[in-house]
Amino acid sequence: MKKIILFVSLAAFLTGCSLDVNTDPNYPSSVSASLVLPAAQNAIATVVGDGMYNYAGFFAQYYDQMPESNQYNTITEYNFTEQSSLIDRSYRTLYAGALEDLDVVLKDANATAADRYAATVLRAFSFQLLVDNMDKVPYTEALQGSANSMPKWDEGKSVYEGVLAELDAAETNLGSDQLTCADLLLNKDLAQWKGFANALRLRMLLRLHDAGTDQTAKIKALVSAGIFFKGDVKFAAYSDEADKRNPWYSANNVNLNTNNHVASYPIVSYLQSTSDPRIAYNFTKATKTGTYAGELPGSKVELSTKKNADYSWMNYYAIKPVYFFTQSELQFLLAETYLRLYSDDAKAKAAYEAGIDADFAARNISESPSVMYGTGGAVAWSTAVDNTAKLNLIYMQKWVALCYMDHMEAWSEIRRTDVPKLSGKTAKEINADPTIYTPGELISPMRNGLGVGSLVKRMYFPLVARQLNTNTPASVVATTPVWWDIK
């Protein structure tokens, strides 16, 4: 709430408009679209950059629970249930915050078609996030307020198809209109909004395609047109002041007043094995050894002699942007498409290397990215002997590039591609003999509440929905894949 008020107020300053302080910004019935859009953007950034970002980072095995702290024990040990309410805050923020605000823009008679288009893009993004977490979500009957306080939950595939149709309709209605809303995401650049929309289409169409609905023609038309965003789609409105910092930084490095995250064994081992300079952007060196060291997932209790000093800590960045879509991920999606649907090795290679280039640029890494893919580079295209190996290169480098950038998409792409794959060795076996482990493979937590060898495949439905909506589906165990995760 505090941050929504902050950015609505900022939007008022930018547009020279006044804001009635007695109006609840979560339900701004009398506020113009020009003020509401940035509030929705900030609400989404809070979810993508903190709520979902935090638990998805554990599931992607980027970090683990620091041994001398306790905040996230249940997450790292997969020992949570619907009652743990891990997704509740993100669920409320998206529905009662972002989607309510976007609905105001869509219904504002004074909003331009371009304003509504931007709102539709963010609406599609919000529903994609919700589906990727829980599979089923309220969609066709959602956001009706007291007219329908218990909306039905729609199938995830239908929601994907629905928001893709919404994007098409909004784009058809654009005409020559331009954005009038304050825009903290893409600075009213309609070309960038179209590029963002097309990247979302590509992401969702690939998931539809892999789930058995042939999307070849649509994907090829999209890629051949080549209308995608430049740079990164990022929310970069933060400053190093109270209540204005990056939300994950604020939640963990400020509000908790303790460190809880240490580097996880899989990502550290892979970055070390490939001599990747990006490791220094993500992590510190362990104070005990002066080297990079990751903690085995879910091992805090079992390896009780380990201390904070044994592991690499996360580097915290107060004004780090929240990434809605990175250029790096876009290029890796294009590389996959060129390889799988076009059989065009040259274009796939170029997009793959562009993905690494973009990630180095986003992190301001001083070394040339060619150190990774140039002659002698550990992840050079030439090291892959066939298309399966090339796809593995693409997926592994996407996993690396999404670390500390977009954890929700990292977790989703791991589930879609099954890369990195799950190690056949247990955490205890790896602890006893690290030489049996292949760097970069995921590891079932040493203490695993879902069972030995299990990984988290979805989030439970929110407890708040269970309490308020009798149409909330029966609880589904977290090892059950969402609809597009069929491998």
Residue-wise pLDDT tens digits, 300-334? 999 999 999 999 999 989 999 999 999 999 999 99
- Identify the residue whose tokens are 């059950």: 480
pLDDT at 14 over 60: no
pLDDT at 255 over 70: no
**Which tokens sit at 175?**
């005409």
Give the pLDDT confidence of 194-221 residue by residue, as tens digits.
Answer: 999 999 999 999 999 999 999 999 999 9
Neighbours of 430 (CB within 10 A): 22
Counting residues of the chain whose pLDDT is more than 90, the rounded percentage is: 89
Q: Is cis: bond before 420, omega within 30 of 0?
A: yes
pLDDT at 25: 43
Per-residue pLDDT, averaged over 290-294, amounts to 98
User: Distance of CA 316 to CAs 253, 361, 381, Å?
Assistant: 7, 19, 32
pLDDT at 22 over 60: no
Per-residue pLDDT, averaged over 182-189, amounts to 96
pLDDT at 100: 96
Which residues does residue 264 pair with via DSSP β-bridges, in sequence order? Answer: 295
Alpha-carbon span 450 to 55, nearest angstrom? 16
pLDDT at 175: 87
pLDDT at 257: 63
Which range in 14-18, 106-110, 420-424 is most confidently predicted, on average pLDDT?
Answer: 420-424
Give the pLDDT confidence of 406-440 residue by residue, as tens digits.
Answer: 999 999 999 999 999 999 999 999 999 999 999 99
Give the range among 32-36, 84-88, 449-453, 473-477 with minimum mean pLDDT. 32-36
**Which tokens sit at 40?**
């929705």
Q: What are phi and psi of 153, to 5 degrees?
A: -100, 125
pLDDT at 4: 38
pLDDT-based confidence at 256, cuts 50/70/90? low
Share the mean pLDDT of the chain.
92
pLDDT at 44: 98
pLDDT at 30: 60
The residue ranking higher by pLDDT, 220 or 5, is 220
pLDDT at 373 over 50: yes
Q: What is the pTM of this model?
A: 0.93
pLDDT at 33: 75
Per-residue pLDDT, averaged over 40-44, amounts to 97
